Structure 1
Amino acid sequence: MSNYWLGLDCGGSWLKAGLYDGAGREVAVQRLPLHALSPQPGWVERDMTELWQQCGSVINKLLTHTGVSGSPNPRSGHFRSG
């Protein structure tokens, strides 16, 4: 069984999920549009319940597209950019 890394990018317009092999090569990327709320001029908010559901959807879409399944490995990697 191969090991993969899953990355999520919650940007201004799109939510992207990327799958990478053990050498860091991109296997596939899927994305969904994000919806922003603007309750007042100059304000931008996100519905966190909707965002959480979209995270699950984009990950499911990615794994279905690639046929990758399995359980998480015991390692955890966290980073941020920007």
Structure 2
Amino acid sequence: MSNYWLGLDCGGSWLKAGLYDGAGREVAVQRLPLHALSPQPGWVERDMTELWQQCGSVISKLLAHTGGERLTNPRSGYFRSG
């Protein structure tokens, strides 16, 4: 079994997931477009429920592309803000 690092980049237009080997070399990258809400001029918001679902989707897309089956976390918990 090989160990890899997973990175997520939530930018202004795209959500990207990258997979990197232990030496930091890029193995694969997948991306999905992000949707912004503009309830009034000058405002930009995100639907956090949709963003969370898109994170799961882009990770699944990355794993399907690379032949991966699962993710594990060697830590005792996860951090969630908000």
Render the CA deviation track for 1:9-53: whole Å, top value 9, x for unaligned.
000000000000011100000000000000010000000000000
Q: Secondary structure at the match of 1:76?
A: coil
Aligned residues of 2:3 and 2:21 also touching (Cα < 8 A): yes
Cα RMSD (Å) of the superposition?
3.7
Q: Shift of the alpha carbon at 1:68? A: 1.5
Aligned residues of 2:7 and 2:18 also touching (Cα < 8 A): yes
Gaps of 5+ in 2: none
Q: How many residues align?
A: 82
Q: Distance in 2 between matches of 1:81 and 1:28?
A: 27
Task: Give 4+ residue runs of structure 1 displaced > 2 Å after superposition.
Answer: 75-82
TM-score computed with the length of structure 2 as normaliser: 0.87
TM-score computed with the length of structure 1 as normaliser: 0.87
Q: Percent identity?
A: 90
Q: Distance in 2 between matches of 1:76 and 1:28?
A: 27
Q: Distance in 2 between matches of 1:75 and 1:24?
A: 21
Q: Distance in 2 between matches of 1:15 and 1:77?
A: 24
Gaps of 5+ in 1: none
* Cα pair distance change 1:64/1:24, threshold 3 Å: same
